[in-house]
């Protein structure tokens, strides 16, 4: 990946890494100058969930996220909210607080709706109301950019200015329906919106 990312950078291409967060600190340190965006799956916020459902541990993922917070790469965190397994409101609130404290308010957090498939066909899909409540909880903890995934038309796909609360990027699924940015700033109040807008 380092070799291809370096070649892409030399040709003026942007690099996006999609990861579960399991990478040793030194290879990540070498990759970071080449990365523009890193998307990390934070699958839950307890060791029990990671051990029993993912067959891994939480600590390396949190370590990776902390290391990312000091880089120039944009960081996106995605959590698939699975009913009865990782949707406890208090645990999720702790996760939101950890993200705010360790990564800052401008990290993008995507809370995605689960649908029963593969090895978890015995569980129901995530109720939209639960996702909406979790999004509100995350924003109440000071996270500025919290999105809902797999819930088209909910309003949770849009990017809102954290200062004036107006929509700066409207979305429906993968379609951009409106754009109210001027050189990366909110067109209403001038607040800088983190992102790659060119």
The domain spans of the chain are 2-153, 158-198
The yes-or-no verdict on residue 54 having pLDDT over 90 is: yes
Chain segment 56-104, per-residue pLDDT in tens? 999 999 999 999 998 999 999 999 999 999 999 999 999 999 999 999 9
What number does CATH give the domain 2-153? 3.20.20.70
Give me the pLDDT at residue 198, please: 78
Distance CA 180, CA 167 (A): 7
Q: How many residues does the chain have?
A: 198
- pLDDT tier, 10 (very low <50, low <70, confident <90, very high otherwise): very high
**Torsion of the alpha carbons at 136, 141, 144 and 146, rounded to the nearest 10:** -40
Give me the pLDDT at residue 174, please: 86
Give the DSSP letter string of 136-161.
HHHHHTT-SEEEEES-TTSSTTSEE-
Give me the pLDDT at residue 197, please: 87
Distance CA 157, CA 57 (A): 30
In 3D space, the residue among 76, 46, 98 whose CA is nearest the CA of residue 147 turns out to be 76
């Amino acid at each position: 990946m380092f070799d291809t990312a370096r070649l892409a950078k030399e040709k003026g291409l942007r690099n996006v890494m999609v990861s579960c967060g399991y990478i040793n600190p030194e290879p990540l340190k070498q990759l970071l100058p080449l990365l523009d965006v890193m998307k990390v799956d934070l699958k839950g916020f307890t060791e029990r969930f990671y051990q029993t459902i993912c067959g891994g541990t939480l600590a390396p993922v949190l370590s990776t996220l902390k290391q990312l917070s000091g880089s120039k790469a944009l960081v996106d965190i995605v959590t698939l909210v699975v009913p009865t397994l990782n949707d406890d409101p208090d645990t999720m609130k702790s996760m939101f607080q950890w993200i705010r404290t360790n990564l800052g308010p401008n990290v993008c957090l995507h809370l995605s709706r689960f649908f029963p498939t593969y090895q978890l066909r015995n569980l129901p899909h995530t109720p939209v109301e639960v996702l909406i409540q979790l999004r509100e909880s995350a924003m109440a903890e000071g996270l500025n950019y919290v999105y809902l995934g797999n819930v088209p038309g909910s309003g949770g796909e849009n990017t809102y200015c954290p200062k004036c609360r107006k929509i700066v990027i409207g979305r429906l699924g993968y379609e951009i329906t409106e754009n109210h940015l001027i050189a990366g700033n909110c067109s209403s109040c001038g607040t800088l919106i983190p992102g790659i807008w060119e």
